[in-house]
Amino acid sequence: MTKTWNFGAGPAVMPKSVLIKAQKELVDYKGTGMSVMELSHRSKEFDDIINTAEANLRKLMNIPSNYKVLFLQGGATTQFSSVFLNLVGDDLSRPCDYMVSGGWSDKAAAEAKKLGANVNYVFNTKSEGFTRIPPKSEWKLSPNASYLYFCDNETVHGVEFQEVPEVNCPIVCDMSSNILSRPVDVSKFDLIMAGAQKNIGPAGLTIVIIKEDLIGTRLNPKVPCPILLNYKTHANNRSLYNTPPTFGIYMAGLVFEWLLSIGGVEAISAINSRKAQRLYSTINKFSNTYKAVVAEDCRSRMNVPFRVIDASGKPSKELEAEFLKGAVARHMVQLKGHRSVGGIRASIYNAMSEEGVEYLCRYMEEFARQKA
């Protein structure tokens, strides 16, 4: 089998042992003579799958008992609408605070605005190319916001919060690309959402972790909430109101088991720190060839964007194309930066091993020496 190092931003690399287990069980799940894909979502077998996945996620993230875990469809993008429709509250004119630190929070704010939200930008670094998180002194928080929204890790721009903002309104966080990568105190959040296709499993599943007192209590009849976007629908039916993404939930369950088996979030966090450290220090060490784009105090540990520069220090599309070509020849794929920003982006999620990052760094060293 070809060894491929997948640095894609999502869908992303999965733990090999998880894929092997899924392969073993693919056509006959625990003696049922059926694949998980063929099981009814109302069967005893599937009930065990979803309950175990939830219990293991609760264990991994230490989720308090007054939070519900919802297994949904529609991707994180659907949550851009759901968040506003469920949390707007009685008064439509009340501001909804958005911290815009990258392309995804920008999209979330735009969607809320389209649905009628009075969006207040706490900050928006778009004009600077999304390369920093402004200090608190620059934040323009509303005194009476319906909620504060932020994206913990901007997948495209590689900007990651290092702490949870402290405010006196509900806090909503998009953790799509760094959930389970480091310990978080769930009780500091009111709603956490994440598309699965980075650190959880295959695309098609979206997880929402929501404090119970926000469920069904802040809807507004002036902006009706479609039944499938209403958190109450899913909370009241244990995510089984309609057919959930059954196979995705099964795969997520296997990933949670894998993560527990290697020591949980604390253990993977230490590994993730070492990986990010190795990669950023390679970029810094060969500063005649590579340039990190994000301010040092908010560099992502999951998505590492950088440029390949020419002798004058300017990003060079030609050198980047050459770098990517050499990477592919060495079986390192999906290193191309997002189409909106260009350059290189190495996504180094939980399932990317230290060995993979080491392999990439060795290639970067070799490429830089060749160009020197």
- Which positions touch ligand PMP (CB under 6 A)? 10, 75-77, 104, 151, 155, 174, 176-177, 195
Provide the 10 A C-beta neighbour count for residue 321.
12
241 and 71 Cβ atoms separated by less than 8 Å: no
The verdict on whether 198 is a catalytic residue reads yes
The verdict on whether 174 is a catalytic residue reads yes
Q: Which residue lies nearer to ligand PMP by CB, 6 or 176?
A: 176
Q: How far is the CB of 143 from ligand PMP (least distance, A)?
A: 28
Q: Which residue lies nearer to ligand PMP by CB, 177 or 316?
A: 177
User: Which residue among the candidates 152, 190, 198, 275 is catalytic per the annotation?
Assistant: 198
Q: Which residue lies nearer to ligand PMP by CB, 177 or 289?
A: 177
Three-state DSSP at 294 gives coil
| Helical residues (DSSP H) of 193-245, grouped into ranges | 231-236
Provide the 10 A C-beta neighbour count for residue 92.
14
Q: How far is the CB of 293 from ligand PMP (least distance, A)?
A: 17
Q: Is the dihedral of CA 245, 246, 247, 252 positive or negative?
A: positive
What gap in Å lies between CA 112 and CA 106, rounded to an integer? Answer: 10
What gap in Å lies between CA 11 and CA 48, rounded to an integer? Answer: 26
Q: How far is the CB of 108 from ligand PMP (least distance, A)?
A: 8
What does R_g of the chain's alpha carbons equal in angstroms?
21
The residue number with the shortest CB distance to ligand PMP is 75
Q: How far is the CB of 8 from ligand PMP (least distance, A)?
A: 10
- Which residue bears the tokens 């598309």? 195
Q: Would you state the torsion angle of the CA atoms of residues 12, 16, 17, 18, taken in this order, to the nearest 10 degrees?
A: 30
DSSP 337: P
User: Which residue among the candidates 68, 104, 106, 152 is catalytic per the annotation?
Assistant: 104
Identity of the amino acid at 211: K
Phi, psi of 205 (to 5 degrees): -115, 140
Q: How far is the CB of 157 from ligand PMP (least distance, A)?
A: 10
173 and 28 Cβ atoms separated by less than 8 Å: no
The verdict on whether 139 is a catalytic residue reads no
Phi, psi of 68 (to 5 degrees): -100, 145
Q: Which residue lies nearer to ligand PMP by CB, 174 or 320?
A: 174
Q: Which residue lies nearer to ligand PMP by CB, 177 or 282?
A: 177
Question: Which residues have C-beta within 8 Å of that of residue 21, sequence separation ≥ 6?
Answer: 254
Q: How far is the CB of 43 from ligand PMP (least distance, A)?
A: 27
Q: Which residue lies nearer to ligand PMP by CB, 75 or 216?
A: 75
Q: How far is the CB of 254 from ligand PMP (least distance, A)?
A: 20
User: Which residue among the candidates 106, 152, 174, 190 is catalytic per the annotation?
Assistant: 174
Q: Which residue lies nearer to ligand PMP by CB, 155 or 282?
A: 155
DSSP codes, 23-50 = HHHSSSGGGSSS-GGGS-TTSHHHHHHH
- Which residue bears the tokens 């997880």? 207
- The encoded tokens of residue 59 equal 């264990």
What are the residue numbers of the active site? 104, 174, 198
